Structure 1
C-alpha cells in the first residue's frame, strides 16, 4: 500500500514538472535574428513576467535570437543575453536582418516623444519613442519624416525630435564636453534597476545611455565597464582625473579578495561626479560642498579613461563598426 502511494506521488510530481517545464523549440532560419519593435524592451533573467529584469534594448536595435520557449532568448549588441516576450521583437532571417541594417534610418534625438499615423501631432499616436530609437526612413514631408517599424507599421515623426542617421552621425561629437552635456540633460531621470533608456536608468545604464546617444556602445554592467580603457588610481587631490573619466565604487580589496565594483558615474572635474542613484544627480567628493556624498566617497575605488580607446578594444565601439549593425 505504502509502495503504491509513493508511486502515485512520484507520478504526480513528474506530471507537474512536465507541465511547468518550458519547451525549447528549435529556431528556423527565418527567426535566428531579430529587431526590437517597441521603444524600450525589457530583458528578463527567465522567460516569464515575474522574473527579474536584467537590461533593456531599444526600438530598431538588431539582436540575435538564441532560442524560443514561448519567449525569446536574445543577445544584444553589447553581447548581453536575456529573455523577452514574443510581442516586442520581429524575428527575421539573416537576409531580412541585413536588409534592415542596410536601410537608411531615422534616429530619435530627443529623450522622449511620439510617432503619429499622419504628419500631424493631433493625429492618432502609433507609439512612444526615446533617445537612440531607430526607424526605417521612408520619406519626408515639411515637418515630419515618414518611417516604418521592423514589423512593417508605418508612422510619422517630427523632424524636431529626430534626424537621418547619416546626418546625425556627421553632427555627433565624441569629446568629453559634448558627452557630459548629454549626461547633464538626463538630470532628474529616475533610477530604474536594469534601465538603459530615457525612461529610467541604473548607474551603468546611465553611462550606457549617454554614450549610446553619441553612437558609442560600451559593456553593460559597471563590473564590465571598470576593466576597459586605461585604469587610473585616483590621486588624493583628484589631479590626475579629467572630466569625462568614469569613476567606480564598491568594496575595496582585502588581503583575501580583489575589489568588487558595484557603482559607476562620470567625473565632472572639481571633485564632482554625475551618477544615477535614486535619480540622476551630481554629487561631490569634497566634504565642504553642499552635495558631499560621504557614502560614495567612502567606497571610491578607481577611475577609467575610455574615450581614446573607442573602436580600439573589444566591447567598446560605435554602431557603424559593431558587428550586430553590419
Structure 2
C-alpha cells in the first residue's frame, strides 16, 4: 500500500513538475506516523546537515505536519522537528489507532538488541533503548516475539523488556524510584538535543528518566520550569525534596525575567544529578568533593511536579496523552 501511494506521489511530481523541496500539506487522515528506529533524530530543517532539535523513540506515535522529501512531525510532548522519511512509518488514522490499542512490549534496559530468531546468536534486527515500544506478537522461551511499525518481526529477550500492562503495574512514579532511575544513567555522555540512553542534554535527562516511569513532561528546561509548583529555595535547602527539579540560569532583574538555561534532579543532601559533559552528581555544599561553584552561583528555583501528573495539560502519561489514545 505504501509503495503504491509513493509511486502515485512520484508520478504526480513528474506530471505537475513540483520541486522536491516544496512543502506539501498533509490531509487529516494521513497526518499520522509511528517512529521506526530506536532513536530518531529530529532536525531544525529537512536536511542531514541541520542541527538536531530533539529525539523521538521507537514505537512513539507522532503527528505529521508537512512533507517534502522529509517529514515535519510533532511528538507527544508537542515538540516539532524534521525527520527523514526512512525513520518513520506513515499511517492512516485507522492503522494508527490500531497501533496505539495493541499490547506493547516496553524496553526496560538502557540498551539491547532484537533478533531474527529467539536466539541471541541469530542475526540482529535492530538495537533498542529504554522506553522503546514494540507490538507484542507472542512468546517463545526467554523471548517475546514483536513487530515494528513497518511490519518487521523480531524476538527480544525478556531480560531487557516487559509487557506494557505488567510494566505499568510495577512501575512507580515516586521520588525514590525516579532518583534511582536517574542514577542508572550516570556517565552517559552529554548530547545536545539528546533524549535517550545513547546521550542526553540537561532537560533530555529529565525527559528520559521520567519517560521510563511513563511520565511525559515538556521537552526544554525553559518549559519544564513552569509546570507544577514553583519553590523559592531556602538557604539551607530544607524546603525542597528529592525528585524536585532544580533550575539554573540568569537571575531576574527589574527589566528582565530570569533566563532558564539548565536543569537537574535534586537527590537530597544539597546534591543534584544533571547532564553537563556527562550525567553526574554535583553538590551545592562547598565542603563536598562534588561541589559545583558555577551552578551554585546560577541556581534560580525548584519545581515540584510529582503531585501534578495528569492534573496539568503538559504533564501526563501514555495512558492520558492524546497522542497515545
TM-score range, shorter chain: over 0.9
1:1-326 equivalence runs, <5 A: 22-28=21-27, 31-326=30-325
Contact 1:43 1:54 in 2 (8 A): yes
**1:230-281: per-residue Cα shift (whole Å, max 9, x none)?**
0000000001010110000000011110100010000011100000000000
The answer to whether the 8 A contact 2:20-2:68 is kept is no
Corresponding position of 1:10? none
- Native 8 Å contact 1:242 1:268 kept in 2: yes
SS in 2 for 1:210: helix
Distance 1:169 1:133 in 2: 14
Where in structure 2 are there 5+ consecutive unaligned residues?
1-16
Q: Quick check: 1:38–1:58 contact (8 Å CA) kept in 2?
A: yes
Structure 2: distance between partners of 1:321 and 1:232: 27
Task: Please give the TM-score of this superposition, normalised by the length of structure 1.
Answer: 0.93
Cα distance in 2, alignment partners of residues 19 and 57 from structure 1: 30
- Measured after TM superposition, the shift of residue 32 of structure 1 is 1.2
TM-score, length basis structure 2: 0.93
Measured on the aligned residues, the alpha-carbon RMSD in Å equals 1.3
Partner-residue secondary structure (3-state), 1:302 = strand
After superposition, the C-alpha distances for 1:38-65 in whole angstroms (9 at most, x for unaligned) are 0000000000111110000000000000
- Structure 1 residues 106 and 256: CA distance shift in structure 2, 3 A: same
Are the equivalent residues in 2 in contact too, given 1:29–1:93 (CA < 8 A)? no
Assess if the C-alpha contact under 8 Å between 2:143 and 2:157 holds in 1: yes
Distance in structure 2 (CA, Å) of the matches to 1:190 and 1:215: 23
User: What is the DSSP-based 3-state SS (H/G/I as helix, E as strand, rest coil) of the residue aligned with 1:48?
Assistant: coil
Structure 1, gaps ≥5 residues long? 1-17
